[in-house]
Amino acid sequence: MDDQIHLETDDFADELHPFLPAPDGKPKSRLIGTKYHLYLLFFILAGLDSTVFVLNLPLTRVYESIACYQYYSTHERGRFLDPGSIPEEVCKIAPVQEELARVKGIEFLFMMAPGLFLAIPYGILADRWGRRPVLIICLLGLALTILGVLMVCWFWWLVPLRAVWLCWLLTSIGGGPAVLNSTIFTMLADVVSPGKRATTFLELTVAVLISQAISTPLASVLMAKYGTTLPIAFGYGLGLSVCFMCPFVPETLHRSTKIATDELPFGDVEAASPHTSSKQTWRNKVGQLFGSKNGGVSLALLPPTMLALFVILFLDSLNASTINILVQYTSKKLSIPISSVGSLVTIRAVMTIVVILFFVPFIGNRLQKKWGLDSHSRDLWLARITMSICPFGFVLLAMGRSVSVIAVGMVLVAISWACCSSLVRSLATALASPERISGLYGVINVFQAVGALVGNPLLAELLAVDVRSGNDWISLPFGVAGLLSIVSCGIIWIVRLPPSTAN
């Protein structure tokens, strides 16, 4: 795939100067400006993802030690002085692991709940106020939330561990991870031409995976040498430094408005102007998200293709919840320290990067050259191919009893997730009019938030059932995820793009 970004040009300026070449400074500054947008957004999302992965291992260990101390203080009072004095190996007993699975599963439910209700309202605000203010508010809420979680862990003798659930209600300020992803993807769609969106989204995925490949082993090394305090402090400091970069993000709303106006017939320009749009109520705007220019339609009247893509993203988000139990699952099943699981996460990230950078572009180019597919049909076929390997990955995760087998399963599932999210989102974008992209991503994130809300407590409870029953295989969560991935794979194979999408 061609990695160059197609830039929209000013047709009116071309008509004024039909025979004279444009000054050298203007195209160059336009190109630099667009690359600045892309690189800065890539860096922000990758930096925040690094924060999550740096914090994930030590916080999981802190949660486990607190749950372990609470258990032993009840059943063997006086054996341990505090959570930090408990060896990790004595925390692998069933009651502790069951509580840990429940805490982390419901914590993710609280993490995604605000985004479920606020993704669309904040999407509308992004269309009215601009993308950058919403991004800044969202990061402020996330910073306060993580601070609250750290305070609960620090004052473990005063506050119960389950209080971390309530901390995530602070993501009502900005909408949380759902609104963050929606806003960044919207800003990318504002500055990238439709034919290059899938490529850009995959490049963003690669940037995130690179951050995972670096941050996870870094967290493992810091944990092995200095315990949990230093990696937690480093991770939170990294997140704050990324937040301080957000005021330097340029506003992209004006570019989206220009593209939307250029793609409409002359008679429809007035209807698509921001002044006309600003007079609409938020209810009309939600109702007209996918409607025609003459009126809105309900969600039930959406094209079957769009609904199918939403269902795929919902199931993908539900299955993606397995990543939140993967560290605990691997540590328990293989009887290895939590810090050692970081190497598996690194292997998964590196292999996924290789596939996305080399194999996916190669297959995409072959599809275009051999079958003469347009960019959207190519993306559909890439989604079909990559999603077909997901069930095999879950089978390996469910049945694997060695590090190598589980590592291969993690890689297969990660490749499918990365490509599915980027390619299906690109296909959904192609079916919506440009001025409604922000609202579209809001709806997409509602579906993904619902999937996460259902998936995380469900899979965490299934893991707790396996631990409680003494099942050595601990395969129930990944068996259910494998069945859902088969359903998702079947849907993508029956999806057909409307003929107008290619235009």
Three-state secondary structure call for residue 498: coil
Grade residue 104 by pLDDT with cuts at 50, 70 and 90.
Answer: confident
Mention the CATH class of domain 298-502: mainly alpha
Distance, CA of 90 to CA of 483 (rounded, Å): 34
DSSP state of 327: H
Beta carbons of 214 and 454 less than 8 angstroms apart:
no
| pLDDT value of residue 170 | 93
Percentage of residues of the chain with pLDDT beyond 70: 81
| Bigger pLDDT: 28 vs 303 | 303
Query: Which range (37-51, 229-243, 444-458) has the least confidence?
Result: 444-458
Residues of the chain with CATH 1.20.1250.20: 29-255, 298-502
For residue 435, the model assigns a pLDDT of: 66
pLDDT of residue 487: 94
Q: Given this model, what pLDDT does residue 39 score?
A: 83
Which pLDDT belongs to residue 19?
36
Torsion angle, CA of 264/267/270/271, rounded to 10 degrees? Answer: -70
CB 112 within 8 Å of CB 176: yes
Q: What is the DSSP string of 117-161?
A: HHHHHHHHHHHHT-HHHHHHHHHHHHHHHHHHHHHHHHTTTTS-G
Residue 67: pLDDT above 80?
yes
pTM here is: 0.67
**Average pLDDT value for residue range 112-119:** 82
Q: Which residue has the higher pLDDT, 447 or 491?
A: 491
* Range among 105-109, 366-370, 390-394, 412-416 rated most confident: 390-394
For 164, 270, 454, the CA distances from 447, given in Å and listed in that order, are 24, 32, 11
pLDDT digits (tens, 9 = 90+) for 283-334: 444 444 444 443 333 444 467 888 889 899 888 888 777 777 787 788 878 8
pLDDT one-digit tens code per residue, 255-269: 654 544 444 433 333
Average pLDDT for 428-437: 75
Q: What is the pLDDT of residues 136-183, one digit of tens each?
A: 999 999 999 999 999 999 999 999 999 999 999 999 998 888 888 888
Instruction: Name 281's Cβ contacts closer than 8 Å, sequence gap at least 6.
Output: none
- Give the helix/strand (H/E) hosting 203: helix 197-226
What pLDDT, on a 0 to 100 scale, did the predictor assign at position 266?
33
Q: What is the pLDDT of residues 187-232, one digit of tens each?
A: 888 888 777 777 888 888 888 888 888 888 888 888 888 888 999 9
Of the candidates 406, 408, 411, the residue with the CA atom closest to the CA atom of residue 348:
411
Is-contact 42 203, C-beta < 8 A?
yes
Determine the average pLDDT of the residues in 111-127: 83
**Interatomic CA distance for residues 322 and 391, integer angstroms:** 13
Pick the CATH number of 29-255 from 1.20.1250.20, 3.40.50.300, 3.40.190.10, 3.20.20.60: 1.20.1250.20
Average of per-residue pLDDT values in the chain: 78
